Each structure stands twice: as C-alpha cells, then as structure tokens.
A and B are shown apart, each in its own frame.
Chain A
Amino acid sequence: MKVLKLGEPELEFGTNSHIDIRFGIMNYCPLDFESDNAAKTIRVGIVGSACSIEGIRDWIEKCRHEIPAKDSRQSNLFPRFPGFNPDLAFHSELTTDSSLERQLSSSKINSVVKIPVLDELRIEAVRSIVEEVNFLLEKKPPDVIICAIPQEYVEVLDPDTGKKDLDDETLVSKTIQKSKINFHHLLKARCMSLPRACPIQIVLPSTYDSSKRRRSNSLKRQVQPIQDEATRAWNLHTALYYKAGGIPWRLKYDPSKLQTCFVGIGFFHSLDKENISTSVAQVFNERGSGLVVRGGPAMISKEDRQVHLDADSAYALMLDALKQYQNEHHTIPARVVIHKSSSHSSAEIDGFQKAAEEYRVHSCELLSLRKSLTRLFRNSEYPPLRGTFLTLNNDIHILYTRGSVEFYSTYPGMYMPRTLRINCDKVDQTPRYLSEEILALTKMNWNNTQFDNGVPITLRAARQVGDILKYINHTDSFQPHYSFYM
C-alpha cells in the first residue's frame, strides 16, 4: 500500500492550457474559437410562461456584459463572468427573437397545476412544454431550446415536504405523494423524440432570479443556498455553447499518446419494474464529443451479485460503439478504455476484446469504477487533496476525485468527500497513468464549470443517459449525441 498525489490535469483551450475551466475560457477562449464550425451565433429558442420567458430573456441580455464576481475571499472559486459576446472569452453570441419564443397560456398552466395526482401532473406538465417545443421545431429549428420552467410548475412539481417539526417525534407527519415519474428525465426524453429535435436546456426561475429560491427540506428548513450570479452565468452559457455544437475545451493533447476513445458503461432498470437492466454506453473522444449506444439486457450474476452482460451482448455493444465512433470521426481509435460501473466478468472481457480485435484496435483496457468508503484523514481541518491516490494492490486503487483543492484554497464540497475505487480488470498502461486519465475526465463535464467533479464524464454520462432512455421504448429510435441528454 502506498499513497501518492496526482497533479491536477491541464485542459486545452483556444490559445493555451490551464487547470481551471473559467480562467481558461476567460483568458484563452474556447478550444474551437478560430475554427469555421465554431458556434459563433447561437440561435436560442425559449419556451415558458410569459413571466419565465421574460425573466430568462432579460437575464441573457444582462449576461452579454460582465457579471461581477461574488464578494468572496476565494477569488479563484468565484471569478467574475466576463460577458457572453463576440469580442471576448467565448467569442460567441446568443440570438433570441420573438419568432423563437413559444408561450404557455396561463389557462393551460392553471389546468395543469390543478391535477391532484402527482404522476399525472408531471406527465401533463411535460406534455404542455413538449407541444410548444414541437411548434418551434416545425419552423426553422433553433440551435438549442431553453425550457424556462414556469414558477407555478416548480411549486407543484416538487411538493413541499419541509413542514417537518424535527423537534417533536410524536407528531404525525404529513404523508407525501410518492411519484415514480421524473419530470426532468421525461421532458428530455419527449423532446428528443420529436422530428428535427435540437438539444434543450432546462432552466428554473432561481437561475435568473435569486428571489425565486427553491424551498428545501433541509434540517433548518432554510432555502437551498443558490450559487452566485456569475457562477450561474458561467454554467448556463458553457452548457449552451456545448449544446450548440461548440467545443469549449479538450483533454490535453499529447502527440505521443495513442488516439483514445473512452467508453462509459452503466445499467438502468426499466420503468415497468421488470428489473431488466439494460446497458448504455457513452463514447467519448478527447475533444468530448459524446455518442450514445444502447446495449442489450444485462443480468445480476449469482456469483458476485453484480450486473453483467453475457459475452454476445458485450461483443455487440462494443461493436456498436466502435461503429458509431467510426461514422462520426471517420477513423478508428488506436486505444479503447472502458469505464464500467460493475466489475468485468470473463465473458465480458472476451466479448469486448473480440470486438476490439475485429476493428483492429491496438489496445483495449477495462476498468471498473465505483464509489468507495475507503478514506484517508489528515490530522487537521481539511480533507486530503483532490488527486490523492492510494494503491491497495496492483489492481485496486482509491482516488480522491473530490477533496481539498489548492487552486480554490478550500474544500468546496458540502459533505466529507467519498473516494472512487478503481479496479484494473484488464489493462496495458500503468494504474497511475489510467488514474490520471480518470482525473482528467472528471473535468469534461460541460454542465459544471467548477472542475472538481466526483466521477469521470464516461460514467456520469452513462448514468444520465440511462435515466432518460428509461422513458423511451426499446424499439424507438433515440438521439445519438450526448448533448441531448445533459
């Protein structure tokens, strides 16, 4: 057993590299800012109520110019937002106009919020929004559509469970309606099934209006702390840039390395409680272009009680992933790295390898990644540094993907950080090399501009995609691009 510290991986931006996303974009522009295909003008459609459309429109307008940094002593954690305009940082602009807006009528909203059964209410709320999205797509589809969820919906979609009196155990608490339907996932699933679909961005009122904080059911019954305005601007605009086809940053390019494709494999239960887990894979290249592949059913093995594919399904999944990659990038990667949420059985190893050999992939590496409770403690206030790397034996390693971050001069998390357990089931590179790669992949999340994400994008995406594919029939077609799922 030994402990090392892996350095914070650098990302590559337009003119230089940096470890931090916001400073990277601010000083060095997005990776593709000089290319002809860059997202220079992003046509944004908006769907919402009169009030939420106005709110998001005004805020987008405001964000064309600088949003000052939060008044904090942690200047690296809360930098200013430079403004989203063609002259600096993103070198891009958002265009909105009334032809790209669709309003939900107040009578429609009122009829939806009166539905007594929560599941039905959620389905109807989704339906009302999807109708308007469909209208926008029938004309000239925008690059991305913002679904500005009306405040009236926010209040009924997640009924307030915060009326608990923790002080008194004897009181009978109000029973809350249990709902099986997830509004967010269902909305994404329905919107991507439309003809000529484009990616959507769901925005809650609290994003552009701090007075509309969401109630939370935390201990103190206080509202959830909301991020500062500059941070919210960073997150929204970065996500929009990516969804409009822009490439904000990439993993650091090293010409001596093999061209690699990263595949994340996760499992999800179907909605019908049949408990048939289906596998999904996410295929990423170093530039973060993500493709979705749907695999066959998986089984829980009696041997190790984990979810596994049989050899044929593993082979088919990998073949499909490589085919997608080839169609998209017109080349075959020299190396494939699989990140899976369960260990690799011998049948899976055989299946994956067979497909890789068929496509003449030079190297195929299989890792399983799971959250772990193995922890390390410093004898002081702060948890270990992100990048702390504990080797248990040659095949099993523990990595702190969240932890104290020097660049932020703090630990920016809410709870004691959990670690990531990395099992090298079949590898060519050293565990350290593979773990540095995982640490770099935690920074490839375009939904968040704080770089210390807990899981690499491979697994994060596999989970997000699974959440949404649940709502799409197995026989129906689905969108192959990750930007529809994030």
Chain B
Amino acid sequence: MAKRKQIGMSEITGEKGIALIHRIVLQMGFAWNPTNMDAGIDGYIELRDSETGEVSNCILQVQSKAGDSYFLSEDENSFVFQCKNRDLEYWLAGNAPVILVVSRPDKDEAYWISVKDYFSSPSARKNRRITFDKKNDRFERDCRHRLMRLAIPKNNGLYLSSLPQEETITSNLLPLVSIPERYFKSKTKFRDPIQVWEILRDSDSDPDGEWLLHNGFIYCFHDLTFEPWRNFCEPENTDNLRTTDLSNSERPSDRHAFVKLLNLCLTQLLYRQGIRYSKLKELYYFKASTDLTARKVGSKTVFKGYTSKKNESRIAYYRHQALEVQFLQIESKWYLELTPSYYFTHDGFKLSKYYEERLSGIKLLERQNKTHLSHLIMWSKILQQSYLSSAKQQSLQFEDDPTEDTIKPYSFLQFGPLVTFEVDFGISDSSWLPLPAKDNEEVNSRQKRLFD
C-alpha cells in the first residue's frame, strides 16, 4: 500500500506565494505561465502590450520563496534573504533573466530583485545574501517598466543549468564480492581443449567447466591434484597459488587468463538457472521452455512466442531475454558490466533470420530508461542468485530436471548489488513532454540520414 501523498503547510504557503505573484502580474497586464516544476523556476512572466493585448514574446523567469522563515534580520526598512549555493548557481547559469520574489502571502507583501544584476559582483556572490529594501524592492503593479527592461525575447533560446534536485542513479556495474582465494596451475602435455573434455567426460557425465588450457598450462579453481584432473595434469608440477597474484598481474596474458576463468565460472552460475551462452552472438539468453510456453522470472517474461500477425495460429518467432557482459577492473576491484538485450529464435532454438531487424526494432521502443532498468535489476538478482532461496525457487519455473528439487547456489562467484549514486541534479520529467516514441511526429532523425 503506497503512502498517501501529504500536503504540508509549507507547500500550501508556497502555492499561496505563487498565487500572489500571479495576481500582481495580471495587474501589470502581463501573462503568467506557471512551470509546475518541483524545483528551479516557478514560472514565466510574459510581457504584453496592455493597450493591444499583444504578447511581445519577451519573458522573465520567476523564482518564488514564500513564508515568514525567509525574512531574516528584518526591521522597518529592510530584511535579508540567504540564498542556497545550489539555487544561486542555478539562477546565474544560462542567459535568461531571473527574478526572485520573496513574499508573505498572508499579508499580501512581496519583494523582488533581479538575481543576475544583484550578483554581478564576485563579492556579492561570496556571501550569497540579498538585502531587500522594502520600499524600492516592493513587487507591485508599478514595477512594470523595470521588468520590461529586464525581459528578453523568448526566441533567443533561453537556457538554464540542470535542475537542482536529488536523484538516485543506478549504474550497470555489478561488483564481484567473492571469488576463490586460491587457484591451481599445472603443466600439461595436452594442447587441445577437446582432448581434455574427452578425459573429463569419461569420468563424469556432467564435468566441471571452470578450467582453462593456456600456453601449455591448465588454470583451474578446482584442486588439480584430485581426480579427474590428475589424469591430464602433472601433480608434481601443480602450483597452488593466490588468485590475486593472477588478477593483479602486470602481464596482460595473466589477466586475460583470469578474466577467462571468471567468464567460465559465470557460465556455470547462469547455467543452473536455465540460461545458456550463445558463442555466435556473444551473449547469455534464457533457453526455451520444453513445451515452448512462456516462461517467467518473478514478474518478468523471459521467454515467449509471438504469433504471426497474418495467421494467429502460427508462432512467428520466439523472444528470449538476453544479457551481454564484460568484466572490468576498477581500482583492483572487479565489476561485471551488464547490458540487457534480446535473443530471437525461429523455433526456440534456431536463430531467427531477421535477428538484426527485430533487435533494432525493439531497441527503438526501449529507448526509455524504465523498461531497460527493470531488466537490468532482474539480471542483477539472477547473478546474485536471489531467486535461489528456497521460497523463490518456483519463480524460476524449471522443468528441466525433475529429479533435482532445488538448485544449489553456485559458490565460486558472488556478486553484490548494482552500484548506485546519489546525485543532486536531475530532470523534472513531469514538466517535459512524453517521449517522442509515443508521438511519431516528434521523432528526430539524425543528420547523417540526410547527407550520407
């Protein structure tokens, strides 16, 4: 149950302040356009010729601050207003004139200054204080002409800096929080991984895959002195080494081997959850369900057939949720960079012939942040193996192996939650228009389409 939106006293006072400005602006014979933003500029005054009623296309931006608390060091003739640094930076950026109106709506009192003029000197900017002269700075009908001198034409392309508002930003970087501390490296006479696989399969129908044949050595997170590994290693030439020596090595080929090992572990982790790797497309994707019915993880559909538009009884293609990954090392820590994508098949297995077209089409629709972000979060949970706690097992909807009731979490890799940031700039989405995707007329094709 979402919390009901509450309207506090300060918001009501704020609204009253804007109403007061609106009334005075109308008395001047100008037009008032509120912006209805959460932060930044509260509205525009648009100049009009009071004789003809013609709008001059010149505007002023207005920031309202209403309430007793803004009146500091007040006496009969003056009071002081203390600006926040962030507000001030915002008002001073850009090329549009900004006026600040400080008011007591309950007493019908309002005062104004032109922010850019007031703070044109560096010393004024330093202490961020505005001293209002109650007589000269009164915001009332008679300051019409002073406002007219300030305003600039709207078609000059007004601009401000980004809105001072707090947001949480999620990155697509998933920190790797634990890996095996030791790895094993052994000389081998084999040079072809296929031979190694054969030996492994002789002793186990489903052998472990986290090993690497590289420059005549086997690198592995399993102990190579045990079966079945001994069969192709030289136990007397096997080293038990610290993983960090490999991952932080100066030699690119060592680091390359380490990243390969990580990727092999990742394949194992995802395999347990019904996710396969496509070498051709270099991505992981949810495999088809055995009966080709739609498959879900949590509330997200991860595999589904789409019917032909012409013949509703026929499936045209299947869409699988997919993921492209890359391991990155940042300051000796490792992260997995996640890029959610899609995989298309003709029958659940065979690649769709129109793979590229389908992908491009869906990416066009997915320009919006939100869908993509929810997929990103789903993948981060899969990689953190959150769905493997027993209560959530059923949400994976497995039917592969009825003998195995629960999937055991994979222990070689553990990921933490996605890296997030708190930032103090953002967008007032509500004040912008809907994304062009919903409005074909607004799609703006890029220049290169025109001249290439």
Q: Which chain B residues border A239 with CB–CB below 8 Å? A: 451
A127, chain B: closest CB distance, angstroms: 20
Q: Does B157 contact A (CB under 8 A)?
A: yes
The CA of A459 and the CA of B443, in the complex, are separated in Å by: 27
The reply to whether B435 and A27 form a contact with Cβ atoms under 8 Å apart is: no
The CA of A220 and the CA of B357, in the complex, are separated in Å by: 10
B417, chain A: closest CB distance, angstroms: 14
Provide the B330-361 mask, 1 if CB < 8 A to any CB of A, else 0: 11000001010000001000001110011011
Q: Which chain A residues border B432 with CB–CB below 8 Å? A: 382, 409-410
Q: Does B369 contact A (CB under 8 A)?
A: yes
The reply to whether A447 and B447 form a contact with Cβ atoms under 8 Å apart is: yes
The reply to whether B316 and A166 form a contact with Cβ atoms under 8 Å apart is: yes
Q: Does B134 contact A (CB under 8 A)?
A: no
Q: Does A411 contact B (CB under 8 A)?
A: yes
Closest to A409 in B: B432
The CA of A169 and the CA of B373, in the complex, are separated in Å by: 31
Q: Which chain B residues border A214 with CB–CB below 8 Å? A: 449
The reply to whether B450 and A385 form a contact with Cβ atoms under 8 Å apart is: no
Provide the A87-128 mask, 1 if CB < 8 A to any CB of B, else 0: 000000000000000000000000000000000000000000
Q: Which chain A residues border B444 with CB–CB below 8 Å? A: 77, 225, 227, 412, 414, 450
Q: Which chain B residues border A184 with CB–CB below 8 Å? A: 452
The reply to whether B316 and A167 form a contact with Cβ atoms under 8 Å apart is: yes
B311, chain A: closest CB distance, angstroms: 8
Residue among A377, A378, A390 making CB contact with B427, cutoff 8 Å: A378
Closest to B40 in A: A406
Q: Does A473 contact B (CB under 8 A)?
A: no
The reply to whether B170 and A2 form a contact with Cβ atoms under 8 Å apart is: no
Q: Does B149 contact A (CB under 8 A)?
A: no
Q: Which of B69-77, B160-168, B189-197 contacts A (4 or more CB under 8 A)?
A: B160-168
A29, chain B: closest CB distance, angstroms: 14
Q: Which chain A residues border B441 with CB–CB below 8 Å? A: 72
Taking CB atoms and an 8 Å cut-off, the chain A residues in 375-428 that contact chain B are 375-385, 387-388, 390, 392-393, 396, 404, 406-407, 409-416
Q: Does A285 contact B (CB under 8 A)?
A: no
The reply to whether A377 and B435 form a contact with Cβ atoms under 8 Å apart is: no
The CA of A7 and the CA of B364, in the complex, are separated in Å by: 28
The reply to whether B376 and A203 form a contact with Cβ atoms under 8 Å apart is: no
Residue among A20, A232, A447 making CB contact with B159, cutoff 8 Å: A20
B145, chain A: closest CB distance, angstroms: 24
Q: Does A207 contact B (CB under 8 A)?
A: yes
The reply to whether A204 and B451 form a contact with Cβ atoms under 8 Å apart is: yes
Main DSSP-derived SS at the B contact region: mixed
B330, chain A: closest CB distance, angstroms: 5
The reply to whether A173 and B353 form a contact with Cβ atoms under 8 Å apart is: yes
Residue among A169, A377, A409 making CB contact with B346, cutoff 8 Å: A169
Closest to A182 in B: B452
Provide the A203-244 mask, 1 if CB < 8 A to any CB of B, else 0: 110110000001001111000111100001001000100000
The reply to whether A374 and B171 form a contact with Cβ atoms under 8 Å apart is: yes
Which of A22, A75, A411, A450 has the largest number of chain B CB atoms within 10 A? A411
In the complex, how many residue pairs between chain A and chain B have their CB atoms under 8 Å apart? Answer: 215
The reply to whether A381 and B429 form a contact with Cβ atoms under 8 Å apart is: yes
Given A7-B161, A218-B360, A411-B435; A380-B429 close (CB under 8 Å): yes
Q: Does A65 contact B (CB under 8 A)?
A: no
The CA of A164 and the CA of B157, in the complex, are separated in Å by: 44
Q: Which chain B residues border A18 with CB–CB below 8 Å? A: 95, 157, 159
The reply to whether A74 and B157 form a contact with Cβ atoms under 8 Å apart is: no
The reply to whether A167 and B450 form a contact with Cβ atoms under 8 Å apart is: no
The reply to whether B354 and A169 form a contact with Cβ atoms under 8 Å apart is: yes
Q: Does B436 contact A (CB under 8 A)?
A: yes
The reply to whether A416 and B449 form a contact with Cβ atoms under 8 Å apart is: no
B176, chain A: closest CB distance, angstroms: 15
The reply to whether A235 and B369 form a contact with Cβ atoms under 8 Å apart is: no
The CA of A406 and the CA of B309, in the complex, are separated in Å by: 40
A89, chain B: closest CB distance, angstroms: 12
The reply to whether A3 and B423 form a contact with Cβ atoms under 8 Å apart is: yes
Taking CB atoms and an 8 Å cut-off, the chain B residues in 234-284 that contact chain A are 252
The CA of A202 and the CA of B426, in the complex, are separated in Å by: 40
Q: Which chain B residues border A27 with CB–CB below 8 Å? A: 156-157
The reply to whether A225 and B445 form a contact with Cβ atoms under 8 Å apart is: yes
The reply to whether B157 and A373 form a contact with Cβ atoms under 8 Å apart is: no
Q: Does A1 contact B (CB under 8 A)?
A: yes
A-B pairs, 5 with minimum CB distance: A23-B157, A219-B361, A448-B447, A3-B421, A377-B373
Residues of chain B at the chain A interface (Cβ within 8 Å): 93, 95, 155-157, 159-163, 167-173, 252, 308-310, 316-317, 324, 326, 328, 330-331, 337, 339, 346, 352-354, 357-358, 360-361, 363-364, 366-370, 372-373, 376, 419, 421, 423, 425-427, 429, 431-436, 440-447, 449-452
